[in-house]
A and B are shown apart, each in its own frame.
Chain A
Amino acid sequence: MAAVELRGVRKSYGSGKNALEVIHGIDCSVADGEFIVLVGPSGCGKSTLLRMMAGLEEISAGEIAIGGRVVNQLEPKDRDVAMVFQNYALYPHMSVRENMAYGLKIRGVAAAEIATRVERAAAMLELAPYLDRRPRELSGGQRQRVAMGRAIVRNPQVFLFDEPLSNLDAKLRVQTRMELQKLHREFNTTSLYVTHDQVEAMTLGQRLIVMNAGVAEQIGAPMEVYAKPASTFVAGFIGSPAMNLLRGEAQGDRFVTTATSAAIALATPAPPLSIHLPVPAPRDGPLVLGLRPEHLVPASAGAARFGFAVEMVESLGADSYAYGLGGGGTLIARVAAGTVPVVDEVLPLTFAAQHMHWFDAANGKRVA
């Protein structure tokens, strides 16, 4: 087990004038035994960052240290990390047992020691009956467990997971997610986990690194990221459905939204929202107001802050999502099951002052 340090890590492809930088300097320290999730949309560089830690991609600038040792120049095998791949990457011609034992065999571990370690891992992962099967004879979930077993038997300093659940169906994903949590509790090995799935990120990570376009937008505990997103990007990415973002202008002590399009301006039920700014005011000028769908609550006509014209409703059982126009923009509101809104209805909605998120309209950064 070991702590992992990222210091100004950059990655660029090509050189000279044609160099294309895809990771723009990431700093992060991962504590020993911590479970960190790298989350972001496709192409944000999260997998590249993970592969740089594994040693599969060169580090263009900056330093990565594992257990206090800078590993920039080390081969993957010398970094003492184990990696679980999205498509499992099991050796197809080897049995489950051989797959798990291969890394140990190469490292020259004694055969008896290999056998006990493999047996132990197999028992833990409920793979014992399949030890002599080939990967192709296993289901997707079993294959992924073999891949994890291969990582576990090595007893490495760091586990690296590259979207390990993406190839599994929804039910298996939930199940494997819980197994992963259990495994981490048991071994307490430092883990870095890449995913684009925010549910996985929220449930697995002790801390998240939310990445966008090669930049770490926010690093923090899941609930902290959810409660105080550092930018409009994080606000829109973490939380489902995404946070509503209304553009507007701070005028004196009031904030007035600007209609995002002519059509919305013309729609009578969705006039711009005009509310008192919190005191002290975040700042003057253009602002973005963020409101989570679950924080928009129905109110009596008198107490409502704005009218919400429902255009579409998705009922998910426990609650419903209403999509429509309100406060000068398109909004999503989460409504409890008891009150299923009707399309074309105008709902009076309100929200509590502590649930307002304020962002700078120019660079998207949180201001309050």
Chain B
Amino acid sequence: MVENRPGLNFFSHALLIIGVAVVAFPVYLTFVASTLTADQVLDAPMRLWPGSHLLENYAHVLQKGAGGAAPLSRLLFNSLISALVIAIGKIAISIISAYAIVYFRFPGRMFCFWLIFLTLMLPVEVRILPTYKVVADMGFLDSYVGLTLPLIASATATFLFRQFFLTIPDELLEAARIDGAGPLRFFWDVVLPLSVTNIAALFVILFIYGWNQYLWPLLITTQENMYTAVIGMRRMMSGGDAATEWNLVMTTAMLTMLPPAIVVILMQRWFVKGLVDSEK
């Protein structure tokens, strides 16, 4: 694949550019719509050049919200809290359980592992009714606990960490034992630093997972100010007697896309390293 053929180069670049255009155009359209007035968005065809209402729209959505929803700043804050708690909680829980499964010999060890593994087959949607019942009975509706706690247990992350821990040579544990490190010390001084790239990669994936939650927050929240940004956006296009202010919906969409994008861009290097790096 090192041959250099100008024709092939041109062709592959053209293909890539077309691909990028296909992906990027809707995002661009959303951006354009977010800079127009409500009337301009409804023009057919909608103009393809940004308008002059950019700051106005963004300020309005952030401070006042649209379509009866709470201000977007509040919704973004809710989303941020949920995504962070879900991502960090999932990583914290799963790294500890994976550590227990890999490094400790206790009765029922494999049983525990398979039990965790089995839950992979039961995504949120499948167990949503019983989960709702439990959360409601515990009085966690319309709260951050209700938004995040049921989503924290993670078989996938446990499994990933387990696989990674299995690649850490046993001699490292033995050397640490001879050096005098106990289980917690070994976890903190050796396992955790070695897992940093994996943690970063998982954080990116889980942050986006948490941020994009739709069904669960929809069920669990009923107050406008506990909605997440994704739910809030849906609420804005509720229709009814009021016309949907599409320019504001698009502004919300732009702002809601921003945090995951920032996380991905900032952590891209770590992310790729965590997925690719096998030589530790």
Q: Which residues on A are within 8 Å of B, measured CB to CB?
A: 51, 54-56, 75-77, 81-83, 85-93, 102-103, 106-107, 136, 150, 154
Contact = CB atoms under 8 A, between A and B. Distances in A.
B182 to A, nearest CB: 8
A56 B172 CA distance: 12
Interface stretch (B16-24, B74-82, B188-196, B249-257): B188-196
26 contacts: A54-B174, A56-B174, A76-B177, A77-B178, A77-B179, A82-B178, A83-B178, A86-B171, A88-B171, A89-B169, A89-B172, A89-B175, A90-B175, A91-B172, A91-B176, A93-B193, A93-B194, A93-B280, A102-B176, A102-B181, A103-B180, A106-B181, A106-B185, A107-B180, A150-B175, A150-B179
A89 B190 CA distance: 12
Nearest to A93: B193
Interface of B: 169, 171-172, 174-181, 185, 189-190, 193-194, 279-280
B179 A85 contact: no
A154 B179 CA distance: 9
B194 A77 contact: no
A103 B171 contact: no
Contact of A85 (B171, B180, B279, B280): B171
Given A77-B180, A102-B189, A83 B194 contact: no
B204 to A, nearest CB: 21
Given A77-B177, A87-B171, 12 more contacts: A56-B178, A77-B181, A81-B178, A83-B175, A85-B174, A89-B175, A91-B190, A93-B190, A93-B280, A103-B180, A106-B180, A154-B179
Contacts of B180: 76-77, 103, 106-107
A55 B177 CA distance: 9
Nearest to B172: A89
Contacts of A107: 180
A136 B194 CA distance: 13
Given A91-B190, A93-B194, A75 B174 contact: no
A51 B177 CA distance: 12
Nearest to B181: A106
A240 B169 CA distance: 34
A88 B172 CA distance: 9
Contacts of A136: 279
- Most chain-A Cβ atoms within 10 A of its Cβ — which of B175, B178, B185? B178
A93 B175 CA distance: 14
B179 A89 contact: no
B174 A83 contact: yes
Nearest to B174: A56
